[in-house]
Amino acid sequence: SVFQARLPLSLLETWVVKSFSGVPNNRLPLQNFEMFSGGVSFKTPQFSKIYRVDPVKDTQEVELCWVMPSLLDLYRSKPHHYLSSLIGHEGKGSLLSYLRQKVWVLELYSGNSECDFEHNSMYAMFTVTFLLTDEGMKHLQQVLEALFGYLKLLQASGPNERYFREIQTIADLSFRYEEESSAWDYTEVLSENMHFYPPEDYITGSDLFYEYSPQAIQNCLERLVPDRVNIMLFNKNEEMGFDQTEPWFNTRYCVSEIPADWLESWKKVEPDPSFTLPQPNIFIPRDLSLVPLEATVEPYPVKIRHDEQSEVWFRRDVKFEQPIAYYYYYFISPLLQLSPQNRVMLDLYCSLLKQLVAQEAYPAKTAKLTYDIYVEVRGLVVKVGGFNDKLRSVAIMVEPFLIQFQSDAPLAPFLYEALISLMKSLMKRFVKSDKLDSARSLLELGIFNETNLLNAKYVDLGYATREAIRKTKGVSEKEILLFRQDCKTCLQKLCAKLLERSPLKYKLTKAISFLDPAVAVLKSTRSERLKSTLEIVLANNWITGVAADLVDRQFNSVCSQPDFLEKMNAFSKQHDRLDTLWMSIIPSNDDNQKLVSFLRLILILSHGNASLERGFSINRECIVENLNEASLIAQRQIYDSVKAIGGIEKVDITKSLIHSVRNARSRYKDSLEQKMKDKQNGEKQEGDRKRAAVLQKELQAKKQKILSEAQKQADILQEEIESLKKK
């Protein structure tokens, strides 16, 4: 037993003797389970099968389990932790990164929890669990093939000492700088450790990696093979054919052999070309020294820098004295306060940033560095924390993602396919799949027609909502059904509003997608959308009929080049520019000048056009206005001019240029202030109008009351007059 308290040892000893000396000791030896050791614990006909289980919660998971001999005596090298770290890695080239890109898997959990059931003197279990999407459930065989392909990569590569030393260093740092845990938890851990480790390792045995043992790692790897695996699939789909019920919790399940063709394909599968072992972790701190204390340390944050772009505040920690720091970057913008829409857009931007950063930031996360991105009252906050030595590296890593959407590249040709994908992902939650698949246009799909919609009981609420419902107690089935109906109504109205303001209803949005390389490789689709674009620009007198025919022929000729498909398929939206791609594949001669002019016209329409690229305010007037807008053309000319002279570094900074920039900045500031004043004036006028209306109603009510009282008095006087007449 272990006791912990802020008391003298002599007093603790007295209390222990007094409290526990009366506990009887039967002097019996511990039970011996050696007969079950050596990996024979699960050598039964019931293992190495597929168990399909009806889960309590609405989830889709597949768990693969292998049984190994006990690993308790390998605590100094912890081979199962090494394998768990590799299989569960989330960075570039990882198994999970590949499966997430396929939209098959949401999460992956691997390893051994070291609880009594999974980690004891008889055996050790090693599990890999996938949280599947609907698509992942449909591609279960491919998901499992990917796992065995990645395991084959690990087996072929063999143990990697460099990676082991990394997780060894991280474990050591985590132990040395771990925050103090509660006495309750700490004494429990130490009590368990006393059963597994020698006295000198009671405190560190469960946390540290003492030695590198490639043989132990290889032995574990060799057991992670198809022939030794047991599979449990959790899904509430009744088509699973649950024909058995276990007696303790009445859980329904069915069991079958693993198909022979599955086993054969897993044995022959090769690692996907995208799979790689993790690169060296640049975020592991090396310098853990403390910055010397100044003679005087301010108790509150002090401003150490202030200019027209930023200000920096600093406070030194003098209490804990650890090589740990926290950086807060607060990007303040007046635009956030101008409208609720701006706030919502920043929230969306924040969510996108988190998703984009996740893969790049995973090595930092494993090195015990933290980051967060969230919206505050006046702007966006990026917070990073952890060992001071590498914090700046985390901040530098986040920076490219902050400017990723600030592109001067044409993006509108990609808009149609992106919006269609977005709208379908929302609609499939409440619209019948056959109706959605057969709809000629999303705009023509009646989302308020009940014949096209799922019953409220089957509306897809998402995993988080379903889990929240499951955990909510005291809620009847009727209330849940009503909630589902409300969610369905909400989704209907949301989609209706999006479609109402979406550029999908404008022909040009779909038409110019012929420049999207993913569309350009489809001959008939490309040709159809090119013709639609030509018809639109012809109707607006932006091109002549003769020129339109010539452009059609020249464009189809360009698309017939032998290397056209190869160049289209090699295009990357993240790294390549659309205008550069198309201009590079058009032969540079006078015969193609009409085609070049036409493509420039289309690209200028979408270049820098925020309203078009955001996708929620495009219309014909907007396009015409932007086409003639001096600022849009000027922006393009500036970009081309800077590019032509070799980059921004070669621009001559003259007094005239500085004066022009300052004037532009001043005009922009004046514009923002004028918008704010106009908004405030509008709000004031609206407030005055409402107050006047309220006052008018109050006066009308008073008038009515006075007239009513006067009428009553008149009636009383009339009665008195009539009474006097009778006398």
Number of H helices, E strands in the chain: 26, 12
Q: Supply the DSSP symbol for 231.
A: E
What does the alpha-carbon distance between residue 166 and residue 159 come to, in Å, rounded to a whole number?
13
Mean pLDDT calculated for residue range 19-31: 85
What does the alpha-carbon distance between residue 348 and residue 346 come to, in Å, rounded to a whole number?
5
What does the alpha-carbon distance between residue 623 and residue 619 come to, in Å, rounded to a whole number?
6
- Out of 471-475, 552-556, 614-618, 623-627, least confident range: 614-618
Residue 610 has which token pair? 């925020």
Q: What is the pLDDT of residue 409?
A: 60
Number of Cβ atoms within 10 Å of the Cβ of 110: 21
What does the alpha-carbon distance between residue 326 and residue 369 come to, in Å, rounded to a whole number?
10
Q: What is the pLDDT of residue 271?
A: 94
Residues 68, 124 contacting (CB under 8 angstroms): yes
Flag whether pLDDT at 342 surpasses 60: yes
Burial readout 576-592 (b: 16 or more C-beta within 10 A, e: otherwise): ebbbebbeeebeeeeeb
Distance between first and last Cα of the chain: 113
Average pLDDT of the chain is 83
Residues 346, 335 contacting (CB under 8 angstroms): no
Q: What is the pLDDT of residue 56?
A: 84
Cβ neighbours for 482, distance < 8 A, ≥ 6 positions apart? none
Residues 64, 128 contacting (CB under 8 angstroms): yes
Burial of 86 (0-12, 13-18, 19+ CB in 10 A): buried
What does the alpha-carbon distance between residue 622 and residue 627 come to, in Å, rounded to a whole number?
9
Please give the share of the chain, as a percent, with pLDDT higher than 70.
89
Flag whether pLDDT at 606 surpasses 80: no
What does the alpha-carbon distance between residue 459 and residue 466 come to, in Å, rounded to a whole number?
11
What does the alpha-carbon distance between residue 320 and residue 325 come to, in Å, rounded to a whole number?
11
Strand 252-256 and strand 311-314: the pairing is unpaired
Which of the two residues, 140 and 660, has the higher pLDDT score? 140
> What order do you get walking across the sheet with 252-256 strand by strand?
105-111, 123-132, 61-69, 230-234, 50-53, 252-256, 244-245
Flag whether pLDDT at 623 surpasses 50: no
Highest mean pLDDT among 331-345, 374-388, 455-469, 687-701: 374-388
Residues 487, 459 contacting (CB under 8 angstroms): yes
Q: Supply the DSSP symbol for 442.
A: G
Flag whether pLDDT at 632 surpasses 50: no
Number of Cβ atoms within 10 Å of the Cβ of 721: 9
Q: What is the pLDDT of residue 14?
A: 92
- Is 302 strand, coil or helix? strand
Flag whether pLDDT at 459 surpasses 70: yes
Residue that has been written with the tokens 């023509």 in this structure: 444
Q: What is the pLDDT of residue 161?
A: 95
Dump pLDDT digits (tens) for 431-448: 988 888 888 788 888 888
Flag whether pLDDT at 129 surpasses 90: yes
DSSP secondary structure letters along 609-624 = -HHHHHTSS--HHHHH
DSSP secondary structure letters along 314-342 = E----SS--SEEEEEEEEE-GGGGT-HHH
- Out of 119-123, 178-182, 261-265, 621-625, least confident range: 621-625
Mean pLDDT calculated for residue range 246-269: 92
Which of the two residues, 461 and 312, has the higher pLDDT score? 312
Residue 345 has which token pair? 């857009």
Nearest to 613 by CA among 330, 338, 324, 406: 406
Q: What is the pLDDT of residue 600?
A: 80
Q: Can you give the pTM of this predicted structure?
A: 0.59
- What is the chain's Cα-based Rg? 35
Dump pLDDT digits (tens) for 296-323: 888 889 999 888 788 999 998 888 888 9
- Out of 15-24, 190-199, 376-385, 646-655, least confident range: 646-655
Which helix (H) or strand (E) element contains residue 464?
Answer: helix 463-471
What does the alpha-carbon distance between residue 176 and residue 165 come to, in Å, rounded to a whole number?
16
Dump pLDDT digits (tens) for 517-545: 988 999 999 999 999 989 988 888 888 88
Dump pLDDT digits (tens) for 195-236: 889 999 999 998 999 999 999 999 999 999 999 999 999 998
Backbone phi and psi for residue 633, each to the nearest 5 degrees, phi listed first: -65, -40
Highest mean pLDDT among 247-256, 424-433, 717-726: 247-256
Q: What is the pLDDT of residue 156?
A: 92
Q: How many CA atoms lie within 13 A of 264 on its CB side?
A: 3
Q: What is the pLDDT of residue 443?
A: 81
Residues 367, 284 contacting (CB under 8 angstroms): yes
What does the alpha-carbon distance between residue 583 and residue 595 come to, in Å, rounded to a whole number?
10
CA separation, residue 702 to residues 622, 689, 695, 699, 709 (Å): 50, 20, 10, 5, 10
Residue 149's pLDDT band, with cuts at 50, 70 and 90, is very high
DSSP secondary structure letters along 233-281 = EE---GGG---EE-TTT--EEEEEPPPHHHHHHHHH----TT--PPPP-
- Out of 367-371, 384-388, 499-503, 536-540, least confident range: 499-503
Residue 39's pLDDT band, with cuts at 50, 70 and 90, is low
Residue 415 has which token pair? 């808009």
Highest mean pLDDT among 260-264, 376-380, 592-596: 260-264
Residue 401 has which token pair? 């993602």
Residues 375, 273 contacting (CB under 8 angstroms): no
Nearest to 552 by CA among 507, 595, 599: 595
Flag whether pLDDT at 426 surpasses 90: no
